[in-house]
Structure 1
Amino acid sequence: MINRILLGLFFCGCGLTASAENGSNLWLRQEPSCQATVVCDITSPVIDVARKELASLWKGGEVILRISADREHYGLGDEGYTIRSAGNDIILESSAEKGLLYAAYHLLRLQAEGNDCKNLNISESPLYEYRILNHWDNIDGTVERGYAGKSLWKWEELPSVISPAYEKYARANASIGINGTVLNNVNASIEILSDKYLDKVKALSDIFRPYGIKVYLSVNFASPMKLGGLDTADPMDEKVAEWWKRKVHEIYSLIPDFGGFLVKANSEGQPGPCDYGRTHAQGANMLASALKPYGGIVMWRAFVYSPTDDDRAKQAYLEFKPLDGKFLDNVIVQVKNGPIDFQPREPYSPLFGSMPHTPLMVEFQITQEYLGHSNHLAYLAPMWKEFYEYVSPYSIKAVAGVANIGDDVNWCGHDFAQSNWYAFGRLAWNPELSSSQIAREWLMQTFTDESEFLNPVEEMMLESREAVVDYMMPLGLHHIFAWNHHYGPEPWCEIPGARADWLPSYYHCADREGIGFDRTTTGSDAVSQYPDSLAAVFNSLSSCPEEFLLWFHHVSWDHKLKSGNTLWDELCYKYQTGVEKAQEFCEVWNQMSDYVDSERYQAIANRLKIQADDAVWWKDACLEYFRTFSRMKYPSGVDKPVFRLKELKKVKLPISNYECPSEDILPRK
């Protein structure tokens, strides 16, 4: 085992130099042909973008852009479109300009994938009206849970200096159908609503508008006090409501198509309406009333939890379900896909399906806070598709994704992390697309269409998320990461004075008898927040899906699973499988050097090696620690640990995104 098991932690400032193949072009890598004729009888900033893209990149016959006389255009709405072949020509038609923009990118995607474009008859429209990236970027240039450098937004330079990256960002989003961006962290700075920063926001909005992208802002609920000088932020106070109305008017005077606000309130110390004895609905409705005359929305996050509740997984349901039907119609309650916090695997949040009279939007995390940051390959489309197996995509109104984008030359730190940005956009447009289809689309546009490359690398992508679950937290284990930065294992973590629900032992509950959090009817009763039929499945030790077993049950070490193995043996085999898969990814990639430029090939190989070493670290740390409770031997076929538990407990990683640990941070056994 190589000692550099953690080399590259927190992106490590790999220092890729600019070149034609440094990942900066994302999936938009077609060479300009400048041979197409594009016909359109109208002009506008949006149409001009569509025309420019087609004129530069399309290699076929004439392309005709047409606004349909039927304003609904076959019921496809303003963003829907048709693409039809007409002899050697192609006709793109929509009821609105944005639809033509999306049609242009669709046509170019077909070309990039090598499809036959001579007999096209396509009709498409997005399922969701709101398809939004959430940037957790701070105005000082840092990015909370960001692993790809500093913020893309250079606030200190705006509005006078406009980075070329802003338009490239907008182009990438438009190409996959993303139509909104929240520029700043949900832990919002008061300053974002100041005149100084609103001028900067306007500059970004002007760049994004021709690409069909609206700008939204995260706001601090206490802004009327800290920015407006009021002595309260009580949403029922007329002076507070009036302050927000004036601020909203100011914003729309600068940005007529401003999208609205994202709000994190009464969560993790953020101010909110509950500080004044008011409800989340009263707080959201006050803001929604100010936005409604302009067509703006409020996205009110349901990520709340109390230090006194017996089970953190229950809190959002307990606070929000009683408010069903009490929100104004331009409020959307934004709910994380799972009830805890973006774990490698969670059951879906029970709020979905329990608030039939309230528009809900799902919040996915694209950035890999709990999935190896930008060091580990974890293609997330299968995770999001798993959510849709339980929650009908037609039952929710919108979708948000916490962005993984920074100012690194390849945008996302890991070249394969770009696939999650791409997959989010494609699934936000059409959640019925398969993980395989999206992976293949991305690979063909980003690397090559050679089947000798596509087939093994697509399989590697599709297996990657499950491999991460296996070597981190199999069988429903969750939240056993290292303190604060969430990189690496620390199931033994104890921090004096820390809240219990911030510590791993709260979740794994390991003891001499067994392991797992009892959420059955005889435990915390979190199962009862799910529909009766599903609650019965989760509640039973025999019928609970084994991928959620330790999420819902405290299980004895010698309990027999469906495989015939004891829980302890199965846990060991899962960790071993994860390690072997991570090592296999390295072997697969080693065969791909003929198909990938040397710069990206080596950068990816380096990260896959880090991932394989980290998998061993996770396996040894978790199994050696849990064995102090089970007191059971490792079954045959499981590698002996490389590292001693007492040495692993001494590891304290740097928490700066720009530092690397030393080569000898983990001693060999």
Structure 2
Amino acid sequence: MRWQSLILSIWPAFAAIVAAEDGSEGWLRYASVPCNAHCRQNLPSRIITLNATDSSPIETAGKELQDGLQSIFGKNVSIVQSGCHDSSSIVITTVYDYRRLCNSTDEIPELEEDGFWLSAQGDTVHILGQNSRGALYGAFEYLSMLAQGNFSDVAYPSNPHAQIRWVNQWDNMDGSIERGYAGPSIFFADGKIVDDLSRAKQYARMLSSVRINAIIVNNVNANATLLSTANMDGLRRIADVMRPYGVQVGISLNFASPIDFGGLDTYDPLDESVVSWWQDITDQLYDRVPDLAGYLVKASSEGQPGPDTYNRTLAEGANLFARTLQPYGGVLMFRAFVYDHHISEDNWRNDRANAAVEFFKPLDAKFEDNVVIQIKYGPIDFQVREPPSPLFANLRKTNVAIELQVTQEYLGQQCHLVYLPPLWKSITDFDLRIDNATSPVRDVVSGQHFKRPLGGWAAVVNVGTNTTWLGSHLSMSNLYAYGRMAWDPTADSVQILQDWTRLTFSQDRAVLDTITGMSMASWPAYENYSGNLGIQTLTDILYTHYGPNPASQDGNGWGQWTRADGKYIGMDRTLWNGTGFSSQYPAEVAARFENIETTPDNLLLWFHHVPYTQRLRSGKTVIQHFYDAHYTGAETAHGFVSQWETLRGRIDRRRYNETRFRLVYQAGHAIVWRDAINMFYYNLSGIPDEAGRVGHHPWRIEAEDMTLDGYVPYAVSPFETASGATAIVTESNSTAGTAETTLGFSAGVYDLVVNYYDQYGGKSHWTVYINDRVIGWWEGDNEDSLGYSPSIYLDGHSATRITFPRVRIRRGDRLRIVGRPDGVEPAPVDYVALLPAGLVD
């Protein structure tokens, strides 16, 4: 150790005096770290930025180091641009310039593009990049160590796993964001690029700190007006603020732009006028943004235009754009998310999961060398558990990248804590056994396995104007972890999480252990209460992709089917009797999934159609596992609240309260999920829960069973998203309603729970009384408190719980709820529960 180690046991004394924070600094807050006299003597006293030019990553690195040392240690360190071997200094430059300007013969390991060498010996530090971006990455690495109280002597190289480490924004030109849960766009408003790009600059800084090297700034469902002269000039401004951080800008294109925007009468990719039009657009863009990363294209899928309109292949469509980019070194990312969303479930062999291989395997070797096929991690669509896409094993002569989703579209939409790296690693660590040899997915996407020149990572990251960037403080762990995994997919999920926690919240051991425990339990919990055994996330796929609606999975053309009926459940994807999907994998993997005995239970219903009474390895039946898992998952989520509450006073008040609010919301919504899924399959199968829980709620009072005045019963759809299938709503949207009942519970202290519906389009007001005593009131303001309301209907998206703890009641007390509607929201109530201490309803 070159400085005195940080004694973490003293840290709680500092936590109590932390100033309120809004999350805008993310993991780059650089909070003060205790540093004694010996520590301060060993701090470098100057920063040497060799061959730094204005707005270069080297100059940025110097400023980041200067600001970081000031913030962490309160030390002002000067920046100079000359010097090589002086002690008590940080030298930051490229390997080439270090050797050239310093006549150095130091042995430095071979570095790959964007890689760096970090050597910290005593008070002398060398940060040398293979290029200037690599040097900046090394500076962020060094500051991350210091900010975590790690003062070790080190000397090591760090190289990226893959060249492509991109993020995809789904921002629209009007400022909205598709699948955005954190406010409007930081890039666009009213059809143009915003004037104030300070947030974009800060975002670039955060991306660079985790070694993301490019960003697609607009939605894959692209609007061609981005190609206007004014907006091209705006893209130049975005690139200018991001370039100092080594983040290149790219854009999504709409295939039909030559007609929609260019005035041509065709967008046929082989038509000479179309080729010429796109080349002119590309030339104009590179004239403004010489380091444009390239393009992202979604074509021939989900109603988007593509080459199939003219009977051209996907390769012919992709190559059109790739060739325009080749003179500039640009990359064409072409999404493999192509499928027919009007397929019939009546055909037993139809399967959306087959689409990617069916569309792209015949085109292997027909794409230009600067085309990268961007493949979603699983064959369907960001589900809570999927096997890896078999397309990774079927494109031997084509560059590929893996597409992940930091945005929690199907996974709680930042309202639920779900730490995603364990899910991602279940894919990237999967051994595809290509040619009967070790073939982890991570080595295929990097290009290493098939020795391809390009490859890597892309993730949908829909940051917005909310100060937390993603809408939730804890969800930011997923963005941090994505960058770390894209650089090194063998990195440990727990270690990544703990680094993020120390940087974002505190080095307090209690904070570290609590957030680690909650986060690592969160994906298994969400899988348990949303959809397990490989059945997919049982959300509403026809609407918001948020709350429960298992019935929506079947009977439509979208292909996210479960094939559930009164006796059986699960997709038969075997070759011998099903859709044949299993045969798309290499032989060893195909054989494993083909056989029900060797298919892991957590993917059983993905690959096999089985009776509800099918026994699992645990000995439980499928249906009993469903019941038990949904109760277990909801109980785990409920426990997050009490775990977080142990951190009161150890985390600043604002972030503590905002996070607690979301965890309380998640605990309630997990019960909505639990009850909806269990009741749906209980009704479908007719098989009771062995533990007698499903459909049995002795602590609940159904709102429709209360005495109603101004309220009327309302049949909720889907039925399973209301307790007893029924709620109450006010008779009109302008008159209050009252629901009243006499309590028959024994005298005691209870938690009083109300399950209601918070729709967008109104902010109803409710007050709950015991006799004439006001217990509490609340407003239907999820659009403010969560950042958005997921639904306009009474359903599993809008269902919400509120709890008033430790309410004293006596038998015979009168419980009364008064609801005042607002806008289109008729003050809906589902049920009331009175729960003894410690009971999860």
Fold match, TM over 0.5? Answer: yes
Q: Deviations over 1:339-366 (max 9, x none)?
A: 0000111111110111110000000011
- Looking at structure 2, the residues matched to 52 and 32 of structure 1 have their Cα atoms a distance apart, in angstroms, of 18
Is 1:73–1:95's contact at 8 Å kept on the other side of the alignment? no
- Looking at structure 1, the residues matched to 32 and 619 of structure 2 have their Cα atoms a distance apart, in angstroms, of 59
CA RMSD of aligned residues (A): 2.3
Aligned to 2:552: 493
Aligned to 1:250: 284
- Looking at structure 2, the residues matched to 88 and 494 of structure 1 have their Cα atoms a distance apart, in angstroms, of 61
Aligned to 1:12: none
**Mapped pair 1:56 → 2:105:** no
Q: Aligned runs of 1:339-488 on 2, under 5 Å?
A: 339-390=379-430, 391-396=440-445, 397-482=455-540, 483-488=542-547
- Looking at structure 2, the residues matched to 35 and 494 of structure 1 have their Cα atoms a distance apart, in angstroms, of 60
CA 1:443 to 1:638, structure 2 compared with 1: closer, same or farther past 3 Å?
Answer: farther
- Looking at structure 2, the residues matched to 523 and 442 of structure 1 have their Cα atoms a distance apart, in angstroms, of 44
| TM-score, normalisation: structure 2 | 0.74
Amino acid at match of 2:24: S
- Looking at structure 2, the residues matched to 619 and 116 of structure 1 have their Cα atoms a distance apart, in angstroms, of 47
Range that drifts further, 656-665 or 528-537: 656-665
- Looking at structure 2, the residues matched to 312 and 543 of structure 1 have their Cα atoms a distance apart, in angstroms, of 24
Amino acid at match of 2:580: D
- Looking at structure 1, the residues matched to 475 and 122 of structure 2 have their Cα atoms a distance apart, in angstroms, of 40
Aligned to 2:651: 596
Amino acid at match of 1:41: L
- Looking at structure 2, the residues matched to 156 and 386 of structure 1 have their Cα atoms a distance apart, in angstroms, of 41
Amino acid at match of 1:74: P
Report the 3-state secondary structure (helix = DSSP H, G, I; strand = E; otherwise coil) of the residue aligned with 2:392: coil
CA 1:157 to 1:621, structure 2 compared with 1: closer, same or farther past 3 Å?
Answer: closer
- Looking at structure 2, the residues matched to 435 and 56 of structure 1 have their Cα atoms a distance apart, in angstroms, of 29
Report the 3-state secondary structure (helix = DSSP H, G, I; strand = E; otherwise coil) of the residue aligned with 2:167: strand
- Looking at structure 1, the residues matched to 379 and 407 of structure 2 have their Cα atoms a distance apart, in angstroms, of 18
CA 1:379 to 1:299, structure 2 compared with 1: closer, same or farther past 3 Å?
Answer: same
Aligned to 2:123: 88
Aligned to 1:514: 568
- Looking at structure 1, the residues matched to 548 and 200 of structure 2 have their Cα atoms a distance apart, in angstroms, of 36
Q: Deviations over 1:88-116 (max 9, x none)?
A: 21111123211110010000000111112
- In structure 1, runs of 5+ residues without a counterpart are 1-18
Among residues 620, 628, 637, which one is paired with 1:565 in the alignment? 620
Aligned to 2:743: none
Q: What is the deviation of 1:662?
A: 8.2
- Looking at structure 2, the residues matched to 357 and 83 of structure 1 have their Cα atoms a distance apart, in angstroms, of 36
Larger Rg over CA atoms: 2
Among residues 68, 71, 74, which one is paired with 2:109 in the alignment? 74
Among residues 142, 157, 167, which one is paired with 1:133 in the alignment? 167
Is 2:415–2:665's contact at 8 Å kept on the other side of the alignment? yes
Aligned to 1:29: 29
- Looking at structure 2, the residues matched to 102 and 581 of structure 1 have their Cα atoms a distance apart, in angstroms, of 38
- Looking at structure 2, the residues matched to 494 and 546 of structure 1 have their Cα atoms a distance apart, in angstroms, of 21
Report the 3-state secondary structure (helix = DSSP H, G, I; strand = E; otherwise coil) of the residue aligned with 1:535: helix
Is 2:167–2:461's contact at 8 Å kept on the other side of the alignment? yes
Q: What is the deviation of 1:598?
A: 1.0
Q: What is the deviation of 1:125?
A: 1.2
Q: Deviations over 1:231-289 (max 9, x none)?
A: 11111111111111111111011110011110000001111111110111001111111
Amino acid at match of 1:485: T
**Mapped pair 1:550 → 2:585:** no
CA 1:420 to 1:637, structure 2 compared with 1: closer, same or farther past 3 Å?
Answer: farther
CA 1:157 to 1:519, structure 2 compared with 1: closer, same or farther past 3 Å?
Answer: closer
Q: Deviations over 1:480-523 (max 9, x none)?
A: 3123111111112399xx84326xxx612111222111111201
Indicate the structure with greater strand content.
Answer: 2
| TM-score, normalisation: structure 1 | 0.92
Q: What is the deviation of 1:86?
A: 3.6
- Looking at structure 2, the residues matched to 228 and 559 of structure 1 have their Cα atoms a distance apart, in angstroms, of 58
Indicate the structure with greater helix content.
Answer: 1
**Mapped pair 1:333 → 2:373:** yes
Q: Aligned runs of 1:5-44 on 2, under 5 Å?
A: 20-31=20-31, 36-44=45-53
- Looking at structure 2, the residues matched to 364 and 203 of structure 1 have their Cα atoms a distance apart, in angstroms, of 28
Q: Aligned runs of 1:628-639 on 2, under 5 Å?
A: 628-636=683-691, 638=693
- Looking at structure 2, the residues matched to 222 and 172 of structure 1 have their Cα atoms a distance apart, in angstroms, of 34
Is 2:299–2:306's contact at 8 Å kept on the other side of the alignment? yes
Q: What is the deviation of 1:156?
A: 4.8
Is 2:758–2:789's contact at 8 Å kept on the other side of the alignment? no
Aligned to 2:317: 283
Report the 3-state secondary structure (helix = DSSP H, G, I; strand = E; otherwise coil) of the residue aligned with 1:116: coil
Amino acid at match of 2:64: E
Q: What is the deviation of 1:142?
A: 0.4
- Looking at structure 2, the residues matched to 403 and 67 of structure 1 have their Cα atoms a distance apart, in angstroms, of 30
- Looking at structure 1, the residues matched to 120 and 405 of structure 2 have their Cα atoms a distance apart, in angstroms, of 38
CA 1:539 to 1:653, structure 2 compared with 1: closer, same or farther past 3 Å?
Answer: farther
Aligned to 1:667: 830
Range that drifts further, 439-448 or 483-492: 483-492
Q: What is the deviation of 1:66?
A: 3.3
CA 1:245 to 1:32, structure 2 compared with 1: closer, same or farther past 3 Å?
Answer: farther
- Looking at structure 1, the residues matched to 239 and 251 of structure 2 have their Cα atoms a distance apart, in angstroms, of 11
Report the 3-state secondary structure (helix = DSSP H, G, I; strand = E; otherwise coil) of the residue aligned with 1:667: strand
Aligned to 2:803: none
Q: Deviations over 1:396-426 (max 9, x none)?
A: 1110000031110111111111111111111
- Looking at structure 2, the residues matched to 479 and 463 of structure 1 have their Cα atoms a distance apart, in angstroms, of 17
Q: What is the deviation of 1:477?
A: 1.1
Q: Deviations over 1:212-247 (max 9, x none)?
A: 010010000111112211111111111111111111
Amino acid at match of 1:462: M
Amino acid at match of 2:574: T
Among residues 593, 615, 618, which one is paired with 1:538 in the alignment? 593
Report the 3-state secondary structure (helix = DSSP H, G, I; strand = E; otherwise coil) of the residue aligned with 1:205: helix
CA 1:439 to 1:191, structure 2 compared with 1: closer, same or farther past 3 Å?
Answer: same
- Looking at structure 2, the residues matched to 122 and 477 of structure 1 have their Cα atoms a distance apart, in angstroms, of 44
Residue correspondences, number: 645
Aligned to 1:15: none
- Looking at structure 2, the residues matched to 74 and 151 of structure 1 have their Cα atoms a distance apart, in angstroms, of 42
Q: What is the deviation of 1:479?
A: 4.7
- Looking at structure 2, the residues matched to 434 and 592 of structure 1 have their Cα atoms a distance apart, in angstroms, of 25
CA 1:318 to 1:666, structure 2 compared with 1: closer, same or farther past 3 Å?
Answer: farther
- Looking at structure 2, the residues matched to 665 and 301 of structure 1 have their Cα atoms a distance apart, in angstroms, of 42
Aligned to 1:9: none
Amino acid at match of 1:545: P
- Looking at structure 2, the residues matched to 155 and 73 of structure 1 have their Cα atoms a distance apart, in angstroms, of 47
Q: What is the deviation of 1:655?
A: 6.7
- Looking at structure 2, the residues matched to 494 and 318 of structure 1 have their Cα atoms a distance apart, in angstroms, of 23
Amino acid at match of 1:594: G
Report the 3-state secondary structure (helix = DSSP H, G, I; strand = E; otherwise coil) of the residue aligned with 2:27: coil
- Looking at structure 2, the residues matched to 323 and 559 of structure 1 have their Cα atoms a distance apart, in angstroms, of 40
Q: Aligned runs of 1:523-534 on 2, under 5 Å?
A: 523-534=578-589
Q: What is the deviation of 1:160?
A: 7.7
**Mapped pair 1:647 → 2:751:** no
Between the two structures, name the one with larger relative contact order (CA 8 Å, sep ≥ 6): 1
- Looking at structure 2, the residues matched to 590 and 653 of structure 1 have their Cα atoms a distance apart, in angstroms, of 25
Range that drifts further, 540-549 or 158-167: 158-167
Q: What is the deviation of 1:654?
A: 4.3
Is 2:118–2:157's contact at 8 Å kept on the other side of the alignment? yes
- Looking at structure 2, the residues matched to 509 and 113 of structure 1 have their Cα atoms a distance apart, in angstroms, of 50
